[in-house]
Amino acid sequence: MSKKRGLKFYLSIYRKILIQDLKSKMSYRADFVISTIGMIMTNLAGFVTFIVLFHNFPTINGWDLNHMLFLYGFSLIALTPVQCFFDNNWNLRAMVYSGDFIKYCFRPVNVFFYFMSEVFDVKGLGQFAFGIATLVYAWAKIGIPVTFITIGQAVLFLLTASLFMIAMMNVAAATCFWIQGSGYVMVIMFRFKDFAKYPASIFNEVFKAIFTFVIPIAFVAYYPSLVLLQPDNIPLLTWLSPLIGLVFFFLSYAVWMLGVRKYDFTGS
């Protein structure tokens, strides 16, 4: 009789895999330190860009420096889960083409979970710390009240924002099950994250529609953050973003698993 595998089982398995992965990474401490510093410096460059930009332009379409920094910090935090927990998507294409991916199809656990759990990118923690610092700084400068409600909203909508980038990268990675040039799809989709730190309202109507309904990068920071930045005028898309995020994530999971079934059936 098969044993039911619930959340407790998967958390236990993930903890064991994570410990082994971290032990492996910490055996190369110099690489870990250098890569973490590199991640922080990359994010610092974005921070400095805003400082320089707003030194010459006090506002951009009604957005001042502090509100832009809030959005920037918000986007960095929202992007952390895809960086830390789903980074193995970048290895999917190579494993599918080499045939090594077949080993995941014979394990008595969920293939998606098993594949993603094998890699935890610790560099993302540096990004997370920088994002928290930027968000707290901008939060204080804007004067957003610190209450259980605002903190709860921040946590909920940050998690919501994360789902969109995770979903986009899942779908981009899964294209390797059908097309040869999927590496370009991954790179292009990942590059879109740079637009997450800008408010969708600064783009023209065409690009705003694309970033909302086609490639929903505006949901990675802009729409979810409005619950705190514009509490008196929260758009409907902000309230709907948790539901839309869940739908996008489960659709991306379905696409990913559809690719797995194709791979398993064809052996290609």
Q: How far is residue 181's CA from residue 45's CA, in Å, rounded to a whole number?
A: 31
For residue 38, what pLDDT is reported? 75
For residue 108, what pLDDT is reported? 82
Residue 51 exposure: Cα atoms within 13 Å on the Cβ side:
8
Could you tell me if residue 179 is inside a domain?
A: yes
Name the DSSP letter for residue 121: -
- What phi, psi does 60 have (nearest 5°)? -125, 105
For residue 1, what pLDDT is reported? 35
Q: How far is residue 110's CA from residue 241's CA, in Å, rounded to a whole number?
A: 27
Q: How far is residue 217's CA from residue 189's CA, in Å, rounded to a whole number?
A: 10
Could you tell me if residue 245 is inside a domain?
A: yes
For residue 2, what pLDDT is reported? 39
For residue 236, what pLDDT is reported? 94
- What phi, psi does 181 have (nearest 5°)? -90, 40
Number of domains in the chain: 1
Could you tell me if residue 1 is inside a domain?
A: no
Could you tell me if residue 218 is inside a domain?
A: yes
For residue 50, what pLDDT is reported? 74
Q: How open is the CA angle 251-218-184, to the nearest 5 degrees? A: 65
- What phi, psi does 61 have (nearest 5°)? 55, 40
For residue 4, what pLDDT is reported? 56
For residue 85, what pLDDT is reported? 93
Provide the β-strand partners of residue 63. Answer: 60
Supply the range of the domain harboring residue 105: 7-266
Q: Amino acid identity, residue 104? A: Y
Ordered per-residue pLDDT tens for the chain, 268 residues? 335 577 788 888 888 888 777 777 666 667 667 777 777 787 777 778 778 877 777 777 888 889 999 999 999 999 999 999 999 999 999 999 888 999 898 888 899 999 999 888 888 888 898 999 999 999 999 999 999 999 999 999 999 999 999 999 999 999 999 988 788 899 999 989 888 988 998 888 999 999 999 999 999 999 999 999 999 989 999 999 999 999 999 999 999 999 999 886 655 5
Give the pair of three-digit tokens for residue 221: 């920071």
- What phi, psi does 64 have (nearest 5°)? -90, 180
Could you tell me if residue 49 is inside a domain?
A: yes
* Alpha-carbon distances of 82 from 69, 107, 120, 125, 154, rounded to whole Å: 21, 24, 10, 11, 18
